[in-house]
Every structure is written in structure tokens, then in C-alpha cells.
Amino acid sequence: MSNQHRDSGFFQSRWNVVLIAFLLIAGFFLFTEHRAHAFGILPYLLLLACPLLHLFGHRRHGGDDDTGGDADGRGHRHEP
């Protein structure tokens, strides 16, 4: 008789499969029952994202660095 290694993966246990099935069913009902609440808040989330996009989108554009401006407006100093 050979000594074979048995796979002990996550989906090999019956309880893990039952847990995944339960979480999928619970997630489905949670989504269908609260869909109106979740989609109703989306416009406000977009408005709240605007200041964050503004802050992180500009990077060092117009900051207090001593690079000085030039004709292309990027603030890079060109050596003569």
C-alpha cells in the first residue's frame, strides 16, 4: 500500500463549502434588500470624492517649492 498525500485545501472540507454557500446566500439577500439604500448614497460618495481627487490629483502642482516657473508651466528649472 502506497502512502499518498491527501490534499488539505480549503474546499476539501465540507464545512468550508457550507460556509461559502451560506455567505453567498446571505450576501445575495443583503444586496437585494438594501440595494435602494446602497445606490441612493452613490451621488453623495461621488461628491465626497471630489476634494480627495483634487488634493491627490495635483501632486506638487503650484506648491511651495523653489523650482521656479518656465514657459511650459511645469515648474521645472532648465539649466543654461
Q: Where are the domains of the chain?
A: 12-57
Cα torsion angle, 16, 21, 26, 32, sign: positive
Contact 65, 58 (CB under 8 A): no
Extract the residue ranges of the chain whose pLDDT is less than 70: 1-8, 59-80
Q: How far apart are CA 25 and CA 76, in angstroms?
A: 56
Instruction: Say what the pTM is.
Output: 0.41
Cα torsion angle, 28, 30, 34, 39, sign: negative
pLDDT score for 17: 92
pLDDT score for 79: 61
